[in-house]
Amino acid sequence: MGKITVIKSLALPILIQSLTVLPNPPDDKIKEIQNIFFSFLWSGKPDKIKRKVMIGLFENGGLKMPDIRSFCYSLKMTWINKLLDPLSISPWKTLLIDQYNRLGADKIWLMTPDGIQEISSNFNNFWKDILLNWNILNTVTNDTAEGIMKQSILLNKSLKINNKTIFYQRWVESGVFFIGDLLDKNSNFFTLKEFCEKYNLNINFLEYHSLLHMIPKDWKNLITTSEKFTHISNDKFEFITNNKKSCQFFYRKFLSMYTERPTKQEDKMCEELGTHIENWDFIYSLPFCCTKNNKFSMFQFKILHRTLATNALLQKYGLKETNLCSFCNETKETIIHLFLECNLVRNLWLEIAALFQVENNLTLILNVENIVLGSESWDISLNLFTILVKYYIYTCRFNTSLLTLTGVIAMIKNSYQIEKISTSFYRSHIRAREKFDCKWELIKNIVHM
């Protein structure tokens, strides 16, 4: 977490200016920058977790490691905000506006992907990149009436005359751009006369009916039996027109295309636990909701990704001669054995459960899923407590010291004091203080802080 913060706060700002005002770097350069970042993250050693996982959000099993490709593309998207802003009169617009208006103005962003691909060659390399970046997120729906009505007529590969797409400049200037523009209020196609009067166009019978003929029959059947859809837009265009800042919105859109969940680790964990787990989003988010201490968050993160250094894992990598448990020295030391199944560890949990029963009249359910992963049925205080106890167990394993209830209480007291001191605005902000007290309330009752 600390290294990711360094990358975000010190490395990325160096790149922002260049990535914002210059065309996209070549793919090999993007890959080279990403390699530098990940090399720093893992101290020059091989990656322990897939990069597509690491760039993901907390709830998807990631650590929000910056993805340079998504970052570059999303920075470019901010120029669309400036272009669509009527109050912006920057001189650079004069270099673009004539060509932009000739090709459809703001409706360009609602064209089909093949249409945008084709018109992108009419712009300089910088704006070509922006159009192609937009195209990465562009989707077309052909199975609903609304999706068909939103499709552009111009430069649409699904609508060809003599095996060629069409582009009628007069139609663009008159406001004819989408299939929905060919329909009257009853979702019937305009007659030639109605069409010419509606858009003040002077076209012949052949030009208009050739267009109607190229629309697939199943599309016609679907849209003429549905209510006309008058507001033609998409979620990306709506967001840009309603928000001045869009970089984060587009970063998440691009990121969703390049990230993935650690499904293999999830399947292996379910197999070891002997159960099926559906609430992985909650489980991945839990350590970051429970505590602001990165030491504890990262500890639980390593458990979930099965990268925590147990004897079984260390022997596999040739770093330890034995895979037996550090406490009982009888059984293979896996994550599940270390934190629950070992007799010495289980005795500690039983002492803790008895303490909970006496102090809070609360029965602590000691099953492997609750202890190793956390529980959605537990409040945040209890989930935090199990993370702290596991951290204590792992510390004792590392230091080859005895497990005692007194040691657990001492470690938790120390953690409480550290977080209390480091919590921002703890004394001055009532809401922050209430949130902090609520999180530690159950634990405070147990250890009598």
Q: What are 16-55's pLDDT values in tens digits?
A: 999 999 999 999 999 999 999 999 999 999 999 999 999 9
The dihedrals phi and psi of 321, each to the nearest 5 degrees, come to: -80, -30
Q: What is the pLDDT of residues 347-360, one digit of tens each?
A: 999 999 898 888 77
Helix 380-399 and helix 280-290, axial crossing angle in degrees, nearest 10 = 80
Q: What is the mean pLDDT of the chain?
A: 88
Copy the structure tokens of residue 253.
Answer: 């859109």
User: With 70 as the cut, is the pLDDT of residue 149 above it?
Assistant: yes
C-alpha 341/C-alpha 346 separation (Å) is 6
pLDDT of residue 305: 94
Distance (Å) of CA 276 to CA 189, 271, 369, 371: 53, 8, 10, 16
Please give the helix or strand (H or E) that residue 161 lies within, else none.
Answer: strand 160-161
pLDDT of 113-143, one tens digit each?
A: 888 988 898 899 999 999 999 999 887 777 7
DSSP state for residue 94 in the 8-state scheme? G
Cβ atoms of 244 and 81 within 8 Å: the answer is yes
pLDDT exceeding 70 applies to what percent of the chain? 97
Mean pLDDT of 289-293: 86
| CA quadruple 208, 209, 210, 214: dihedral, nearest 10 | 110
At residue 183, the 3 state secondary structure works out as: strand
Averaged pLDDT for residues 300-327:
92
For 422, phi and psi rounded to 5 degrees? Answer: -85, -10
CA-CA distance, 337 to 370, in Å (whole number)? 14
Q: What is the pLDDT of residue 217?
A: 87
Model pLDDT, residue 39: 96
* 397-422 per-position pLDDT tens digit: 988 889 999 999 999 888 888 887 77
Q: What pLDDT does residue 449 have? A: 52
The full set of domain ranges for the chain reads 2-115+251-258, 143-241, 263-447
- Region 182-186: mean pLDDT is 86
pLDDT of the residue at 37: 96
Region 196-223: mean pLDDT is 87
Q: What is the mean pLDDT of residues 281-298?
A: 91
pLDDT in tens, 378-395: 888 889 999 999 999 999
The amino acid at 410: A
Of 206, 112, 199, 127, which Cα lies nearest the Cα of 157?
Answer: 112
Query: Among 112, 111, 133, 115, which Cα is nearest to 23's?
Result: 133
Q: Which two tokens stand for residue 422?
A: 């480091």
Supply the pLDDT for residue 416. Answer: 85
Q: For the segment 54-111, what is each residue's pLDDT rounded down to a tens digit?
A: 999 999 999 999 999 999 999 999 999 888 888 777 888 888 888 888 888 888 898 8
Query: How confident is residue 426, by pLDDT bands cut at 50, 70 and 90?
Result: low
Angstrom CA distances, 383 to 289, 297, 377, 427, stand at 10, 12, 10, 25
pTM of the model: 0.85
